[in-house]
Every structure is written in structure tokens, then in C-alpha cells.
């Protein structure tokens, strides 16, 4: 009895933890609350397949219960051998054909939506962004716009945005679950998908392919704003002058230090991406390094010891600055805010 009670308690604890953890997560990092076309299709397929499987389970359990009650051994039948049905042709056909039909029912909409999401026929008349996956960050170049940025991808609501994706190192996977499905990002070839957000918001993206020691920290954001705000953001980014001197004296020193120590790897404006992310609008980002809040203290800690905060990054050991110099560089970077269109424009920052 005690052993049975122990197992029951363990089962109840496991059930409670499952329900509790199922409720954890982020409002803007879930496939169960679609805010975009790709996510909506995926969610509908999830429901469709789930209902079919529930139906199969119910039918099987009903048949099982009927057989269990009707054909159970009764008193006086202990030595009676029931009629054997092995080799019954009709039964064999039934339980072979039914699973095939179910697979076909699931397969048809899955294939249709797969080709639908891979359709690039409207790419030439839509926004195109070249996406590069790196260990452990993302770079975005807007075709024909001369705009480059990293980590935060700005898109207009209600429009298809085509992403042409390639990796600079290992295989990554681009996934913004609230507005789209996922796509592998390979070093050998360009994979194209499109995303479309129904409403404004700051949506979390994840790398869904194990790519190294800091894979779990390879987060990024998609900032969906109104079409008018998007056009304004593009214009603002195009007008960035990387050589503009900040008004603050400390930031001026930070700019000089940044140019001497960081410009070999990072870029400002539309310059090609280097080993590190483009920092043109660093001061407007919701997070940096994928997960850290954009405070000056966090930025100084990152500059002084990046390996502790994001193991395996390519920034570690490539420069030598004092904490005072790091503070000045941080002051400069925090002032890089070229546009009034920010994550707050899309409804605020969601942690």
C-alpha cells in the first residue's frame, strides 16, 4: 500500500509540474497565439492534426472498452478457448487502410501549406532582406535600400517580407514562432521564406538549431510597425552619418575609442557587416547580445568580459581597454539612436 501511495504522489507531482510549466513562457514567443500568416497556418495544422488524433484515441478506447467488457472471462468459462480470428482478411484490410487514409488526410493540407509558405512569386514586388546567421547573432541587409542592421529586424505590418537566408559558419535555424514557421539557415545555399505580421509588436525570434555553446543566447527581435513608420525608419537609417560627432564630451571620447578598437569588427551605417554585429541603432535595441537589457552597466560588463556573458563569441580577446575606456565606449553606443521609430512605436518592449 505504501509503495502504491508513493507512486501516486510522484505521478500527481509530475502532473502538477507539467501543468505549471506549460503556463510559463512569453506572450510574444509562442506558436499558440499566432500574429502572422505563417504562424496562423502552423497553428491551424496543429489543431487539425490534434483533433484527428483525439478522434482516433476516442475510437480506439471505445472499441477497447467494449471488447474488455463483452469478451472478458466469465464464471464457468475458465477453460473455454474463444474463437480465434488471426488471419482475418477483412480485419487486416481495415486496420491497414484506415491508417493510410488518416495519413493522406493529414498529408494533403500539410503539403499545400508547405508549398504556399515557400512561394516566392511575389518576391520581386515585395520587401527583400538578406539574412546572415552567425555564431551567435543575426545580420539583416535590406535589398535596394542601403540599410544594414543586426539583431532587430524592422518590418511593416500587413506586408510580406521575403528573407533570403544564409549562414557564415554552421547551420542555424530562423524562427519567430508568433508570426512564422522556421527555416534552416545553411552555409552552402540560400533558403528563402516570407514573414507577415498582422499587428504591431515586438516579437522574439530564436535560433532553433543547436549551433554551439551559446546557441540558447542567439535571440533576436522582429519589430513590426505600421507601413508609414517603417518608411520613416528606412529613411532615418539611410541618412545616418557614421562620422557624426556626438554633442557629449564623454561620448566623443567613446567614439574615438570605438573607432580605434571596434571598427575592425563592427560597422555603422550601411557599411558591410564584419565579424561583429552592425551597431547603427544600438541605442534603440530592446536587448543586446541576444538577451541582456540595454543598460550602460550591462554594456560595460559585456565589453570587459564578453566570454563570461556569452561563451564562444568572437569578440573575446580581440582588444584591450580599461574599465574607464569601456565606460566611455558604452556612453557613445547608448547614444546611437538614429530614428524616432523604435520598439516603443510597436507597442513597447516585452521582456
> In this model, does residue 80 exceed pLDDT 80?
no
Tell me the mean pLDDT in the region 191-209. Answer: 94
* Longest pairwise C-alpha distance within the chain: 100
The pLDDT, as a whole number, for residue 3 is: 66
Task: Name the β-bridge partners of 172.
Answer: 185
The percent of residues in the chain predicted with pLDDT above 90, rounded, is 66
CB-CB neighbours of 1 under 10 Å: 5
Look at strands 152-156 and 147-150 and give their pairing: unpaired
> In this model, does residue 43 exceed pLDDT 90?
yes
pLDDT digits (tens, 9 = 90+) for 8-25: 777 788 877 777 766 666
Tell me the mean pLDDT in the region 270-298. Answer: 88
Which segments of the chain are extended strands (E)? 127-134, 137-142, 147-150, 152-156, 161-167, 172-175, 182-185, 191-195, 201-207, 220-225
The pLDDT, as a whole number, for residue 14 is: 80
Report the mean per-residue pLDDT for the chain. 89
In this predicted structure, which of 28-32, 75-79, 126-130, 288-292 has the lowest mean pLDDT?
Answer: 75-79
The pLDDT, as a whole number, for residue 198 is: 94
pLDDT digits (tens, 9 = 90+) for 127-180: 999 999 999 999 999 998 989 999 999 999 999 999 999 999 999 999 999 999
Q: Provide Rg for the chain, Cα atoms.
A: 28
The three-state secondary structure class of 255 is helix
List the grid coordinates of 57.
484515441
List the grid coordinates of 15.
502532473
Residue 341's pLDDT band (cuts 50, 70, 90): very high
The three-state secondary structure class of 69 is helix
The pLDDT, as a whole number, for residue 349 is: 53
The pLDDT, as a whole number, for residue 19 is: 75
Whole-model pTM: value is: 0.85
d(CA 266, CA 333): 12
Amino acid at each position: 500500500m505504501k509503495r502504491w501511495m508513493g507512486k501516486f504522489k510522484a505521478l500527481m507531482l509530475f502532473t502538477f509540474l507539467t501543468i505549471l510549466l506549460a503556463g510559463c513562457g512569453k506572450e510574444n514567443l509562442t506558436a499558440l497565439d499566432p500574429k502572422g500568416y505563417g504562424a496562423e497556418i502552423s497553428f491551424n495544422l496543429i489543431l487539425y492534426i490534434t483533433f484527428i488524433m483525439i478522434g482516433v484515441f476516442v475510437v480506439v478506447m471505445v472499441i477497447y472498452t467494449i471488447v474488455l467488457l463483452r469478451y472478458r472471462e466469465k464464471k464457468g468459462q475458465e477453460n473455454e478457448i474463444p474463437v480465434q480470428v488471426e488471419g482475418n482478411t477483412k480485419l487486416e484490410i481495415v486496420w491497414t487502410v484506415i491508417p493510410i487514409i488518416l495519413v493522406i488526410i493529414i498529408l494533403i493540407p500539410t503539403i499545400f501549406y508547405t508549398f504556399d509558405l515557400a512561394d516566392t512569386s511575389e518576391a520581386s514586388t515585395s520587401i527583400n532582406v538578406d539574412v546572415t546567421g552567425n555564431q551567435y547573432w543575426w545580420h539583416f541587409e535590406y535589398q535596394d535600400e542601403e540599410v544594414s542592421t543586426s539583431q532587430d529586424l524592422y518590418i511593416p505590418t500587413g506586408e510580406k517580407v521575403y528573407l533570403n537566408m544564409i549562414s557564415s559558419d554552421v547551420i542555424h535555424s530562423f524562427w519567430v514562432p508568433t508570426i512564422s514557421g522556421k527555416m534552416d539557415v545553411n552555409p552552402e545555399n540560400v533558403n528563402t521564406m516570407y514573414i507577415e505580421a498582422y499587428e504591431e509588436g515586438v516579437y522574439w525570434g530564436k535560433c532553433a538549431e543547436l549551433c554551439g555553446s551559446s546557441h540558447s543566447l542567439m535571440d533576436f527581435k522582429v519589430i513590426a510597425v505600421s507601413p508609414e513608420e517603417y518608411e520613416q525608419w528606412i529613411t532615418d537609417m539611410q541618412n545616418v552619418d557614421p562620422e557624426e560627432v556626438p554633442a557629449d564630451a564623454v561620448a566623443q571620447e567613446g567614439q574615438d575609442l570605438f573607432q580605434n578598437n571596434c571598427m575592425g569588427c563592427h560597422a555603422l551605417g550601411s557599411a558591410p557587416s564584419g565579424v561583429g554585429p552592425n551597431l547603427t541603432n544600438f541605442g534603440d535595441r530592446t536587448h543586446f547580445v541576444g538577451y541582456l537589457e540595454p543598460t550602460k552597466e550591462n554594456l560595460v560588463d559585456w565589453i570587459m568580459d564578453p566570454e563570461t556573458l556569452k561563451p564562444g563569441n568572437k569578440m573575446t580577446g580581440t582588444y584591450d581597454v580599461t574599465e574607464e575606456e569601456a565606460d566611455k565606449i558604452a556612453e557613445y553606443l547608448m547614444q546611437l539612436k538614429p530614428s524616432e521609430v523604435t520598439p516603443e512605436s510597436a507597442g513597447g518592449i516585452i521582456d
